[in-house]
Every structure is written in C-alpha cells, then in structure tokens.
A and B are shown apart, each in its own frame.
Chain A
Amino acid sequence: MTLWLMAGLLFTPLAWAVLTLLTDFSRGRLVSWVGILVQALVSLGLWLAVNRDGGFYYGLGGWDAPLGIELRVDGLAVTFVLLTAVVAGACGLHAGVYIDPDKPWHRYFWPLFWFLWSGLNAVWLGGDLFNLYVGLELISLSAVGLVALGGQAGALRASLRYLLAALLGSLAYLLGVALMYGQFGTLSIAGVATWLSDHPVPAGSGMALALMIAGLALKTALFPLHRWLPPAHGIAKSPVSALLSALVVKASFYIAARLWLELGQPLGSLAAAQLIGLLGSAAVVWGSWLACRQQRLKQVVAYSSVAQIGYLFLLFPLTFSVSETVSLQAQQGMTLQVISHALAKAAMFLAAGNLILSVGSNRIDALGGVSRFLPFSLFSFGLAGVSLMSLPPTGGFAAKWLLLQASLGSGQWWWVLVLLAGGLLSAAYVFRIYRASFLESSGTDQFFHPSRSLEVIPMILAILALGMGLVSDQVLSVMALPFAGEGAP
C-alpha cells in the first residue's frame, strides 16, 4: 500500500511532465486533469495513512540511507504534500481555462507545472541535504521557466533576475552542504543531529548552517533579499503567480525551518536567531508598507507575499533556547501560517487575475466599477484578504494567535508589536483595492466576463483559508504524530 502511494506521489508528476511535453496545450490539459486527480487521491491516501500509523522513513527503491535516497514521511511533510495537492491542483485547473491555448509557447506550461510539482514533493519528503538541493533546483528552474512563459521582454527580465537570485541562493546552500559533509561525513539531517548529540560541537561549524540559511533566505525572499520577488510574481501569469507565492517560496523556507529545528540548538546562536527574527519583522513592516504604495494590482499582492513571508521567520527566535511548550506553539503557528497563506495567497492571485482579465488593465485605478460586474471574484479577493489581515476565524488568525502566545510565553514581547503592525497594514492595502473597485467615476463600461469556473476556484481556496482556523486542531494533531517505525537512522 505504502509502496503504491509513494510511487504514485513521486513518479506521476515526472511521468506527466514527460507526457505533456509530447502534446499541445489543449491535449496537455486533458492529460493533466487525470494527473491532478491521481495526485490529489495519492496525497490524501498518504495523509490518511500517516494519520493512522504515524510517520516513517522510506528508502526509495529499497535502498537505504547511506547509498539510496531516504525519504522522511512525517506529519509535517504529509500536511504539506496535501496542501500542495490542493493548491497546485486548483492552480492547474484554473490555468487550463485561463491560459490562452493558441500561443504556441504556452504548451510548455504543463511540463513545467509537473516538474515544479515533483520538485515540491521531493522537498517536502527529502531527508538528506543533497536531495533537498536537487529538489530546490528542480523547483527553481521550472519556476523561472513558468515566469518566462509570459514571453515579453518584461517577463524575461523578471525571470532572469529571479534565476540569478535563485542560483546564487542554491550555491550558498550547496557550499554549506559541502562544509557540513566535510565536517560530519554524512548528508542526512538526522545523522548530523545524532552526531552533534554525541560529540562536542566543533568550532566554526555554525558557518555551514549560516551559509545554508542565508542561501535559503535569498530564495525565500527574506528582507533585504526580497528585491527579485515582486517583479517575478507580479509579471507572471496569474495561476503561475499563485503557484510561486503559495508554494515555491515555502519550499526553501521549509528546508531552512527543518535545518533550524534539528540543528539550530547546537549550531545556532541567540544573536543569529534574533537577527533573523528582526529581518522577518522588517519584511512584515516594509513589505506591507510598499504594498500600500503600489499602483498595480498584482504588485500589491506580490509585496503582501514579502510581508507574509516575514512572519514565518519569527519561528527562528521563538524556537531558540525556549521551553518545549513555547517552541511547539511557534512551530504550530508557523505551520498554520504556511498553510493559510498558501491558500489565501493563491485565492488572491487567481481572483486578481480574474479582475485584471475583466477590466483589461493591471492598474488599481482602472478597477473602478468592477464591483458591479465581478462581485464574486472581488468577494473571493476580500475573503482571502480577511485571512491575510488575520481576523478570526481564519487560518491567519489562528497562526498569529499561536505566534503571539509563543512570543509572550518566551518573554520576547517585541514580536507582538510586529504582529499588530502587520495586521493593520495588511488591512490598509486590502481596503485600498476595495475602495478603488467601488468607485464609479472611471467611466469604463467595457467589462469582460471570465468563465464561471475561473471564478469558482479562487472562491473555494478562499473559503478553505477562512475555514482553516476552525479545523486547525485536527490539522495540527497530524503534525505532532510521532515516528512509528524503528528505521530512524
């Protein structure tokens, strides 16, 4: 059973990438519908299996740790696998209708989409440092290709900038891996952690961790390394922007978080943890402020991603040298923030794509009157905004509530100010768009009506983001499941 689930999870995206490479866009869409269905079922199956039996280590093809690729299938990983299936599936269905099948280069959308998905699954499940690197590169290269799919010089410019930033980040990460292997002689994260618990920490080995986290922070667009993100996410096709903001930046953050949670205590320092938290807070404030000042709709959403990513990095100070309870609260807050931001941001980008399609311009002041013509999409946008503003009962609220409790519990009250400021500023930029779309002065009466299915998908995602706060206990209980198997290295 497990064999089939794992094979389905890892093999289908690669197989579908090759299959869709052979077809044109419209036939690729039909093939991809089947693939999305398979992925959704397999992800759900694996989630249920882990929910029932607990996590396990899985050696790919029967080869175990030092020689083969070992996958770490635990509650956190399957939660993200399922999240990927939901969000990427929704984006894929949306893209099938949204993207113009007549332009010949759009046929490359499906292969890139499937390669991206396989990279994401590889990262969620990866247990050793080098395979995580390969997964990261697979994600970056296909994401850059997807941004370049716009075809115009502006899109290429943004994608080149993105590519250079991503490559620099990967090399910094790989240099860290090289130093780590040179020092500890193993690539498995769990192996390094075991080594460190038996031996005294060698001098200077924090350097490797610092390099890796710096590279990953560049790929996650942590302030002040965020400059590549808004152009790339702003100019890509809307379903692509949704994929990038919701899932791609989370992959590099996920690796950084895994590294920190396993190795941060022995290798990190209080100053480093506080510094990362400080950069995250700066991202929250600065990203939200810039989001309020953008003239183009998708740039607002893109800068809001910079801000929301900032919250994630509060994990670092809130799990360093604190009590077990506080650390657990911070981890749960981080997980919920990843999930609810992924759902809300995907909904927001897809809804923004519909609004842009309807008014034929990406400027905010062109949105006047759209509230009468596209109330459904505007409502999805608003619902997603409610989750970003972190009002109850959304997932965003539950996430920030946990982070708030963790800050107070560890006596680091200064992060509470960041949480409050971020919430207020995000309300400001969401209401700014609402205000523009209710103004009737612009005089345009030419609105294009996107098809019903384009409007339904962001609504479903927004409702999921909204409901996440109500089911957060169930989601978090899967995450906390212990390992069942004895195969731990």
Chain B
Amino acid sequence: MTSSLLYALAGTLLCGIGLFGMLWLSHLLRKLLAFNIMGSGVFLVLVGLPQNQGGPDPVPQALVLTGIVVAIAATALAVVLIRRYYHLSGLTTLDEEPAFREGGPE
C-alpha cells in the first residue's frame, strides 16, 4: 500500500465517521463537530490522493487552504445561529416540534 492511498483511506474513514455523526447525533453542536470531522476527511483525501511524480502535488494544498477558510466561515455562522436559537427557544436539537406556533404573519 502506498502512502497516498493510506491518506485517502484515512480520509474516507473520517468522512464516514463525520457523516454518521451528522445524520445520527441530534445535539446541534455535535452535528457541527461532525461536519468539521467530515470536512477534515475530505481535505485529507484532497491533499493525500493526488501525487505529482512521486512527490506531493502543490495545487490541492492551495485548494485545501481555501476549503479551510470556507469551513471556518460555515462553522462560525452555524455557531452564531445555534447560540441565538438556544437563547430564543431553549432547545439544542431540531428534533421535537417547538411549542410556539411557527411563522406568524411573516
């Protein structure tokens, strides 16, 4: 087994763990952490799989930097929304129907 394949397989494994967490866990912060784990898995596949004549390929490394920025932005947005949602409703999950009537005039 080559090292690049090892990276890719480890990345796939992380993706699997993250996917499981995103679908299975109900606490919103855990879902968010699972998203980050899955993201790391994708980045590992992206960096590890392509090899440029035996050495690492520089292009995906630049891409992963952009990807990390995007993931941080998404995480920050999600944390703000989760925090505000918790303040307003006292809930940390999306599962049960909240007691208030959804909507109103708008």
List 22 A–B pairs whose Cβ atoms lie within 8 Å, in order of A's numbering.
A137-B70, A150-B106, A156-B84, A156-B89, A157-B94, A160-B82, A163-B77, A163-B78, A164-B35, A167-B35, A168-B22, A171-B38, A171-B42, A174-B42, A174-B67, A175-B15, A175-B41, A175-B45, A181-B49, A182-B45, A296-B103, A362-B104
Residues of chain A in range 81-130 having any CB-CB distance to chain B below 8 Å: 130
Which residues does chain A contribute within 8 Å of B63, judged by CB atoms?
130, 187
Q: Which of B15, B35, B70, B89 contacts A134 (CB 8 A)?
A: B70
Residues A182 and B49 in contact, CB atoms below 8 Å apart:
yes
Give Cα A296 to B104, complex, Å: 10
Main secondary structure of the interface of A (DSSP, over half): helix
Tell me how far the C-beta of A237 lies from the nearest C-beta in chain B, rounded to whole angstroms: 6
Give Cα A237 to B63, complex, Å: 35
Residues A182 and B77 in contact, CB atoms below 8 Å apart:
no
Say yes or no for A459: interface residue by CB 8 A criterion. no
Give 1 or 0 for each of B13-52: 1 = CB within 8 Å of chain A CB. 0010011001000001001000100110110011001100
Residues of chain B in range 54-106 having any CB-CB distance to chain A below 8 Å: 57, 59-60, 63, 66-67, 70, 73-74, 77-78, 81-82, 84-85, 88-89, 94, 98, 100, 102-106
Which residues does chain A contribute within 8 Å of B57, judged by CB atoms?
185
**Which residues of B line the A interface, CB within 8 A?**
8, 11, 15, 18-19, 22, 28, 31, 35, 38-39, 41-42, 45-46, 49-50, 57, 59-60, 63, 66-67, 70, 73-74, 77-78, 81-82, 84-85, 88-89, 94, 98, 100, 102-106
Give Cα A178 to B42, complex, Å: 7
Q: A160-B78, A171-B35, A181-B50 are in contact. List 10 more A-B contacts (CB 8 A).
A: A134-B66, A160-B81, A163-B74, A164-B78, A175-B15, A177-B46, A235-B102, A237-B106, A357-B105, A362-B103
Residues B45 and A164 in contact, CB atoms below 8 Å apart:
no
**Which residues of A line the B interface, CB within 8 A?**
66, 130, 133-134, 137, 141, 144-145, 148, 150, 152-154, 156-157, 159-161, 163-164, 167-168, 171, 174-175, 177-179, 181-182, 185, 187, 231, 234-235, 237-238, 296, 356-357, 360-362
Which residues does chain B contribute within 8 Å of A150, judged by CB atoms?
106
Residues B103 and A154 in contact, CB atoms below 8 Å apart:
yes
Select the residue from B70, B78, B100 with max chain A CB neighbours within 10 A. Answer: B70
Give Cα A185 to B28, complex, Å: 37
Give Cα A362 to B100, complex, Å: 15
Give Cα A159 to B74, complex, Å: 13
Give Cα A362 to B103, complex, Å: 8
Select the residue from B50, B98, B104, B106 with max chain A CB neighbours within 10 A. Answer: B106
- A168/B35 contact (C-beta < 8 A), A154-B98, A174-B67, A182-B49 known: yes
Select the residue from A156, A178, A185, A187 with max chain B CB neighbours within 10 A. Answer: A178
Tell me how far the C-beta of A67 lies from the nearest C-beta in chain B, rounded to whole angstroms: 9
Which residues does chain A contribute within 8 Å of B41, judged by CB atoms?
175
Residues A356 and B50 in contact, CB atoms below 8 Å apart:
no
Q: Which of B59, B66, B105 contacts A361 (CB 8 A)?
A: B105
Which residues does chain A contribute within 8 Å of B19, judged by CB atoms?
168
Which residues does chain A contribute within 8 Å of B8, judged by CB atoms?
182
* B60 and chain A: residue at smallest CB distance: A181
- A167/B104 contact (C-beta < 8 A), A178-B42, A182-B50 known: no
Give Cα A168 to B104, complex, Å: 30
Tell me how far the C-beta of A91 lies from the nearest C-beta in chain B, rounded to whole angstroms: 16
Tell me how far the C-beta of A160 lies from the nearest C-beta in chain B, rounded to whole angstroms: 5
Which residues does chain A contribute within 8 Å of B59, judged by CB atoms?
66, 181, 187
* A137 and chain B: residue at smallest CB distance: B70
Tell me how far the C-beta of B48 lies from the nearest C-beta in chain A, rounded to whole angstroms: 8
Residues A160 and B94 in contact, CB atoms below 8 Å apart:
yes
Select the residue from B18, B22, B60, B81 with max chain A CB neighbours within 10 A. Answer: B81
Give Cα A161 to B28, complex, Å: 10
Q: Which of A134, A145, A179 contacts B49 (CB 8 A)?
A: A179
Residues A178 and B106 in contact, CB atoms below 8 Å apart:
no
Q: Which of A134, A153, A178, A234 contacts B100 (CB 8 A)?
A: A153
Which residues does chain B contribute within 8 Å of A182, judged by CB atoms?
8, 45-46, 49-50
Tell me how far the C-beta of A166 lies from the nearest C-beta in chain B, rounded to whole angstroms: 9
* A154 and chain B: residue at smallest CB distance: B102
* A174 and chain B: residue at smallest CB distance: B42
Tell me how far the C-beta of B7 lies from the nearest C-beta in chain A, rounded to whole angstroms: 10
Residues B77 and A141 in contact, CB atoms below 8 Å apart:
yes
- A137/B81 contact (C-beta < 8 A), A130-B66, A178-B45 known: no
Which residues does chain B contribute within 8 Å of A361, judged by CB atoms?
105
